[in-house]
Structure 1
Amino acid sequence: MQGQTIIVTGGGSGLGRAICLGLADAGAQVAILEINAESAQVVVDEITAKGGKAFSVIGDITTRDSAKALVDSAIATAGRVHGLINCAGVYPRRPILEITDADWDFSFAVNVRGLYNVSVAAITHMQAQGGGRIVNIASIDALKAHPKNAHYAAMKAAVVSLTKSMALAVAPDNILINGVAPAGIATEKARAAGFLPELAAQTALGRAAEPEDVADVVIFLVSEKNRYMVGETVAISGGYFIA
């Protein structure tokens, strides 16, 4: 991926960090679009310390104007954007009868509207330059019911649907949009939450995914090695559906 610039939202921690590091190892310049300046800088420093290229753009993606300004800023720095990975997200867990209006609004603002806002801004540039790649991070919860985070599952199901609709709209412009639906990923937050052992017991491989297990698939989809996948959401679950 030498010479390519990829924007990664939510690249300052967890899966986003693993994606950024993997992209840099593959030769890409990484534009980390984050709301947390400190965590973004840590990842930038990790990449540049190894001789890679990365920079951060800090701000909020939940409004159309802000998201556009962030993408425009990233492209002004890099000169061009070849791909976008929508990894920014929140993971609220609450029993289904206790979900508040604020829970719904916050989850939708980040997980769906924010993803859409950044995508629209990036697509405008990709159309002008003749193509690009976008990867949306959904969740296995979009594909299998989960009573403890129904609003999150609903938002990730919306991401799966939005991925299809956007892909169909811009495929003629040589913009390939796909998604991934990971099961539990062994990030620091997930380990602290304590649900990974239960999930691991339900997978054929008997473990949660490491962030790099998912990042490698994402990097393939955002690269030019992906020439014919469009509108798909790939489950990365360790055999969660077959176990």
Structure 2
Amino acid sequence: PMRAYQQNLSSLFLAFVKNADVRNDILKWIGDCLVENRGKNKEWSSHNPLTAYLFVSDGFLLNLNFVLLNLARPFAEPYSPKLLKINPIYAITQNDNIHLRDLHKDTPMIVRNDESINEKNDQTAFNFITEIFFMSHLSYTSSVYRLHRMLLKINEELSQVQQAYQEASKLNGPNDENVQRLEQAMEKGLTAFLNIKTVLNEPCLLELSNALLTASCSWLVYLASLPEEVDSEETMKMIRQLPLATKPNRQL
């Protein structure tokens, strides 16, 4: 039932983005949803009781992630020529032509000291593939990655509760009130752990996520190996030798 629901939801959004009259509105809605809920992925959100009121549910973000992964499926293939249409400048641009705002505020893994004002204020109209690529990654971080962090945290807490339960049982016996409370907490934590684990191990989600991530890796390797004097190519060539013999392209 859940897979059928997600597939139908993805088909609905696919029909929307194919319609030129509503495509811009749909992309704006998706972008606004992701931007307004970025705080949910912060570390403090896991401990803040207001999180449930400030942001959408994990289920909403997970379903949105599924929709975006399906929209990314046509180019989510290692060394696909369609990956060449992704414009990496999208991540640092500050213009008004994008639907996923404020990406330039994120802390980069590699500091670029030579960023130009022209790149940041480039008024390029970014294509659909570029927008879906970056939206898919942000959605994955806000949903799957966040749930994985929660899973690890619950697992750690379960180990602590289980140890406390075993020690309390030896000292006070299984009928002690505190021991029973620990047992209830352990059962509650185990239920949450199994629920999240089941969601994250859904076969279709794993397949779509793996496709996007492997395609992204091949695209990043392509950018890193692209000679500085070459702006673009028609095909993506596989790397035959590491480390790279040339300096990484500045687009990286």
Task: Decide: shared fold, TM above 0.5.
Answer: no
Higher helix share: 2
Specify the TM-score bucket, using the shorter chain as the normaliser. Answer: under 0.3
- The normalised TM-score by structure 2 is 0.25
Greater RCO, 1 or 2 (C-alpha within 8 Å, sep 6+): 2
Higher strand share: 1
- The normalised TM-score by structure 1 is 0.26
